[in-house]
A and B are shown apart, each in its own frame.
Chain A
């Protein structure tokens, strides 16, 4: 096809940014827990799913009780209702599945994480059914033109909300007392405990905040694709985990950078791999492309793009 079409290129970058914002938001949940506990919380993707599905249920209820309420308000209120649900869930997961195993070998909590993930999927399947749920367009999904590319208002909201949340989280972790306690716990639990930090409370708070982010991410994914399903968290969780590793797991800035980067790589990969290789590789290699970048990054920077070398975490 010769020359690169600029409109198409811009569109692909926009696609990647939207996808990447979602990945970044979910990746933050992985990276926060890893930072504090050194544990991969594989159930995090499922919390995203529960967030999306409970938002859906609450929004249906709201829509029935107050039919006149405008769409964005319905979405806002139902998201606000889903956030505590996910917070409670995150707290419960930590309390039931991880805390009793905190002194156990590293593999044990990993397995309970997978177990919790399967459990939540099945509970959601029983509660919400096997079918796909169409997520109503509370925020318009009608496209508008943006320098030759098309965007939808939902996508603008997604990028804006993601940036706001990430900025807020940065302030929380680096500028507040709670954030200092979290960083101290991440660095050395026993010493932080001796300094008067309530370790258990800090770990619970970390899970609760991560789960709140997951709820928001779930709503964003469901609104963007107008779809919600009990299985939606699994693949998303894997991708976000990849993004967290790419950016340097345990590092907040890294999760954001990794998420955005992964989104853009996937998008450009799917769009241009075929043309770059003269049709030899097609868009079926888009994931290969993304993981290839991950491997290259890990070869040169084993702790990820922005990860710091932490001996006891390795």
Chain B
């Protein structure tokens, strides 16, 4: 008893410390608008955001949260009126440490705090178990980055996502490796998370369908830094290409170690490693790397100033999914506007009818809650830069063009 209490006390004390440490970034944005619209009473809405803010991929978690925070601040500043009251959104940011167990604890915490909607989580491994808790409580959840197909296949009416899933992503990658790169043999590594494993399986399927042979299937963990043992084994199989399903924190060192071991195969990965962070970590070994993002490249976003606004506000670069968490907040508020209510039980019926013109294009959901026409962008690294090779799908075009395609 004493022990667990001591641990939880330490944790709480530290959590408080961490929050106060980061707290100085928030400007008093709400204070200003309260003065701007004195006549109308305020309607306070809590939107939860969950992503790993500590641990190995805290940088990506912060990126997601920043996107949501920017959206909240801009919507608050703009002044949206729902049911005659001025909307005041409070972002309740939570940390799930990319850990499925913590993910469900945090989800329950948000449900208990009576949030009106949730943006998150970041990882598929945390999003899927948490989605049951939100579904039971009837709280709408939009993930800006969980690409594992299972998330929306569980039949929950509350589960949505605003980017493409891993079946689509795996197809693009598998096709590319087998057809465009002409690889006959492929080695596949994953990090044993729901995301990494799911994507690796889809890539393996698509590559085999394209005529390539899977010569090695190796595994690592999402907290590992040493991959020399599995890479050495792969070296013995002499594959034409190596695919890694996992995050940038592992893919970067992996690319370096491949080079150090003298492996000449092409290195590829999915959206988890398709980030500026990967480029930084892999250094020169990033050259000739291919990866996909389950979304549009920044330069094809409908609003080109997003990256600048983000940089100005947070003094950081957009990593990957912050435009999607930004849109996820927009989609929630849009549904609330149409329902003229912030009550989850009322506005949830509006979510499937969404046709929201967001940063990432037109957001509309299919019957499962997956985004329609989710784009996949294929990147290649050249001279230390992620260059767009090809965009597959996507709906940045006008509704007229969409109709023409049908």
Cβ contact within 8 Å between A125 and B262 = no
With contacts A132-B277, A229-B56 taken as known, whether A141 is within 8 angstroms of B233 at the C-beta atoms is no
Residues of B within 8 A of A150 (CB): 260-262
Q: Does A156 belong to the interface (CB within 8 Å)? A: no
Residue A241 is within 8 A (CB to CB) of chain B in the complex:
no
The answer to whether B219 touches A111, judged by C-beta atoms less than 8 angstroms apart, is no
List the A side residues contacting B84 at CB < 8 Å.
Answer: none
User: A134 contacts B283, CB within 8 Å?
Assistant: yes
In the bound complex, residues from chain B placing their C-beta under 8 Å from that of A232 are 225
By the criterion CB–CB under 8 Å, are A282 and B218 in contact? Answer: yes
Verify if B392 is at the interface (C-beta below 8 Å from A).
no
Q: How far is the CA of A19 from the CA of B62 in the complex (A)?
A: 31
Contact with A along B227-259 (1 / 0, CB 8 A): 011101101100000000000110011001101
Interface size of A as a range: 35 or more
What range describes how many residues of B lie at the interface?
35 or more
Known: A143-B261, A270-B230, A271-B229. A284 touches B277 (CB 8 A): no
Interface residues of B in 36-79 (CB under 8 A from A): 53-56, 58-59, 61-62
User: In the bound complex, how far is the Cα of B191 from the Cα of A284, in angstroms?
Assistant: 9
Q: Do B232 and A11 touch (CB < 8 A)? A: yes
If A15-B229, A118-B14, A267-B229 touch, whether A283 touches B54 (CB-CB below 8 Å) is no
A227 within 8 A of B: yes
Task: Say whether, besides A126-B21, A229-B56, A271-B229, A141 and B62 are in contact (CB < 8 Å).
Answer: no
B21: A residues at CB distance < 8 A = 122, 126
Q: Select one of A115, A132, A234 contacting B252, CB under 8 A.
A: A132
Check: B3 CB closer than 8 A to any chain A CB: yes
- Residue in contact with A1 in the complex, picked from B11, B236, B257, CB distance below 8 Å: B236
Complex Cα distance A16/B229, Å?
8
- A15 to B: closest C-beta gap in Å: 4
Whole-angstrom distance between the alpha carbons of A175 and B147 in the complex? 60
- Indicate whether A283 sits within 8 Å of B220 (C-beta atoms), given known contacts A111-B7, A132-B249, A270-B229: yes
Contact B219 A283 (CB under 8 A): yes
Q: How far is the CA of A282 from the CA of B218 in the complex (A)?
A: 7
Residue B192 CB within 8 A of the other chain: yes
B182 within 8 A of A: no
User: Among the listed A1, A15, A115, A119, which residue makes an inter-chain contact with B232, where contact means beta carbons less than 8 Å apart?
Assistant: A15
Interface residues of B (CB under 8 A from A): 2-3, 6-7, 10-11, 14, 17-18, 21-22, 53-56, 58-59, 61-62, 192, 217-221, 223-226, 228-230, 232-233, 235-236, 248-249, 252-253, 256-257, 259-262, 277, 280-281, 283
9 closest A-B pairs (Cβ-Cβ)?
A270-B229, A284-B219, A130-B58, A15-B228, A115-B10, A267-B229, A131-B59, A8-B236, A126-B21
On A, residues with C-beta under 8 Å from B are: 1, 5, 8, 11-12, 15-16, 18-19, 107, 111, 114-115, 118-119, 121-122, 125-126, 130-132, 134, 137, 141, 143, 150, 152, 221, 225-227, 229, 231-232, 234-235, 266-272, 274, 282-284, 286-287
Can you give 18 contacting A-B residue pairs, CB < 8 Å? A16-B229, A19-B228, A111-B7, A111-B10, A118-B11, A122-B17, A122-B54, A125-B18, A130-B53, A130-B54, A132-B280, A152-B260, A221-B225, A225-B225, A225-B257, A269-B229, A270-B229, A287-B221
